Amino acid sequence: MNDMTVRGKQDLLIGGRRVAPLSGRYFETLNPATEEVIALVAEAGADDVDAAVRSARDAFEGAWGNMKASDRGRLMLKLADLIRQSEDELVALESLDSGKPVSAIRRQDLPAVIDTLTYYAGMADKINGQVIPARTDALTYTVREPLGVVGAIIPWNFPLMIGMWKLAPALACGCTVVLKPAEITPLTALRIGELALEAGFPAGVINVVPGFGKIAGQALVDHPDVDKISFTGSPAVGKHILRGAAGNLKRVTLELGGKSANIIFPDADLDAAVKAAASGIFFNTGQVCSAGSRILVHADIYDQVVERLAARAASTRIGNPQETSTAMGPLVSQVQMKRVLDYIDIGRNEGATVVTGGGRAGDTGYYVQPTVFAGVEHDMRISQEEIFGPVATVIKFTDDADALHIANGTVYSLAAGVWSTDIARVHRFARKLKAGTVWINTYGPTDIRLPWGGTRDSGYGREHGDMAIENFTEPKVVWINT
């Protein structure tokens, strides 16, 4: 399985057909576990993106826009069925392209994709306006109308799942989509687009344009006929998109990075806390926006937590992501591996201590050892900047005020965790932590029914739940004199 390649060139998906890019250019996508080429993928240029936006607009004005909401929901359920039936193929493809372990994709990503699709399928015919009794001489009410054409720009850390977080609510609301997957993980997005056609989605409802961010992504952001950009990725690109979207004042939602604090007090269940802290940073090789990358530990238990965390890190089963026993695969790319190794050097040079890990694992594939840094100070770069790799920074605190000061002391505010059995304390921390999600005595679970996102460098707006409906619709007031 690890040597698997994908047959044929992977063309764009525009207007219900697989088409070659107008430039004729293709790029290689690699298996990060072996560094081997698995497929040649079409590189969308601005003219291809324009064709995709036109086909999305046609579908929006035509077949999709005229379809009953309940029929849209039914098609989404059909797609969920086809995804379920294609589980083996999608799991293998996602793993080959991204290096994620098959066991994790099967346990987490695929079920989340199906859950997201079925949740929003059920919502398609429940998007209501309100009758608002503003006057006695008029009937005044609101309807929620779909925004139109959505540009979805997604990263490489959860290609299937984050793609569906954008597709499903957009489709439920009646929008059409041009999806730009990350250049290094384009394969499952193309396959989902094909499955949607098989399910019966009209041509042009879902278009997939793999390519480079600066070309295909930028063309979507600049396009005057795109009504909304839904983006997940880095704060730098997010801010750039927000500026670019001012061109036609398109709506924007941004899910960006994090440097989340996971705070452990001496009265916590330490077995559970250490286990969750390890998976909070090492899951998906640390390539998670809400990774608990700063583990804040009370001085009284600092040494024992560091020791137990290091033992867990050292026993992580790293290996071939296609094997079901593998817990941790490679990083997604050589660029990401270098970035993480550079940060490990920065941490050493700043004076923090590598307790375990600290280097590349093997010499083929983009593997980095799960690494635990102790003696980390709050103002060090490894404590402030998002590393996006399997690197835990363990920071000592002395009391509640100190913990809060450290936890809230970065430019991010996506998520945080607190481990304690003191009920007053956990409520106090839930209130005072700057984070879109606060986990108490757990770390990391998400659910499509709950709003997800952050503020400051973590993002702009919220995804998931019924809040996502607001992301893809506009209210309209109707005033009828009576």
Active site residue ranges: 255
Per CB under 6 A, the list member of 26, 27, 141, 212 interacting with ligand TAP is 212
Q: Does 455 bind ligand TAP (CB under 6 A)?
A: no
Min. distance of Cβ 166 from ligand TAP in angstroms? 12
Min. distance of Cβ 365 from ligand TAP in angstroms? 19
CA distance 222 to 72: 29
Nearer to ligand TAP, 243 or 476 (CB): 243
Min. distance of Cβ 64 from ligand TAP in angstroms? 24
Sequence-distant (≥ 6) Cβ neighbours of residue 147 within 8 angstroms: 173, 175, 227, 228, 251, 472, 473, 474
Q: Does 214 bind ligand TAP (CB under 6 A)?
A: yes
Residues in the chain: 482
Token pair 């970035």 is at which residue? 339
Nearer to ligand TAP, 249 or 424 (CB): 249
Per CB under 6 A, the list member of 232, 285, 356, 437 interacting with ligand TAP is 232
Q: Does 239 bind ligand TAP (CB under 6 A)?
A: no
Question: DSSP readout, 243-291?
Answer: HHGGGTT-EEEEE-----EEEE-TTS-HHHHHHHHHHHHHGGGG--TT-
Min. distance of Cβ 153 from ligand TAP in angstroms? 5
∠ CA 229-225-162, nearest 5°, is: 25
Min. distance of Cβ 330 from ligand TAP in angstroms? 15
Amino acid at 125: D
CB hemisphere CA count around 425 (13 angstroms): 19
Residue 78's SS3 state is helix
The two three-digit tokens of residue 149, written as one number: 């054409």
Dihedral angle computed from the Cα positions of residues 408, 467, 460 and 392, in that order, rounded to the nearest 10 degrees: 40
Task: Could you list the beta-strand ranges (E) of 365-482.
Answer: 371-376, 391-397, 415-419, 437-440, 459-460, 473-481
Nearer to ligand TAP, 155 or 444 (CB): 155
Min. distance of Cβ 421 from ligand TAP in angstroms? 31
Helices (H), 283-333: 302-314
Q: Does 386 bind ligand TAP (CB under 6 A)?
A: yes
CA distance 14 to 12: 6
Q: Does 86 bind ligand TAP (CB under 6 A)?
A: no
Q: Does 228 bind ligand TAP (CB under 6 A)?
A: no
Nearer to ligand TAP, 217 or 375 (CB): 217
Q: Which stretch binds ligand TAP (CB under 6 A): 7-15, 139-147, 213-221, 469-477?
A: 213-221
Q: Which stretch binds ligand TAP (CB under 6 A): 58-66, 212-220, 399-407, 463-471?
A: 212-220
Q: Does 101 bind ligand TAP (CB under 6 A)?
A: no
Helices (H), 86-217: 87-98, 102-104, 110-123, 159-173, 187-199
What does each C-alpha distance from 27 to 9, 23, 207, 222, 332 come to in angstroms?
10, 12, 19, 23, 16
Per CB under 6 A, the list member of 234, 408, 441, 455 interacting with ligand TAP is 234
Q: Does 208 bind ligand TAP (CB under 6 A)?
A: no
- Do 420 and 428 form a contact (C-beta atoms < 8 A)? no
Min. distance of Cβ 137 from ligand TAP in angstroms? 49
Q: Does 233 bind ligand TAP (CB under 6 A)?
A: yes
The two three-digit tokens of residue 285, written as one number: 């090789």
Report the DSSP beta bridge partners of residue 26.
42
The neighbour count for residue 232, using CB atoms within 10 Å, is 26
Min. distance of Cβ 308 from ligand TAP in angstroms? 27
Q: Does 218 bind ligand TAP (CB under 6 A)?
A: yes
# binding residues, ligand TAP (CB under 6 A): 26
Contacting ligand TAP within 142-201 (CB under 6 A): 153-157, 180, 182-183
Question: DSSP readout, 108-157?
Answer: IIHHHHHHHHHHHHHHGGG----B----SSEEEEEEEEE--EEEEE--SS
Contacting ligand TAP within 255-284 (CB under 6 A): 255-257
Q: Does 444 bind ligand TAP (CB under 6 A)?
A: no
Per CB under 6 A, the list member of 121, 237, 305, 433 interacting with ligand TAP is 237
Per CB under 6 A, the list member of 119, 265, 388, 460 interacting with ligand TAP is 388
Nearer to ligand TAP, 77 or 346 (CB): 346
- Give the residues lining the site for ligand TAP (CB under 6 A): 153-157, 180, 182-183, 212-214, 217-218, 221, 232-234, 237, 240-241, 255-257, 289, 386, 388
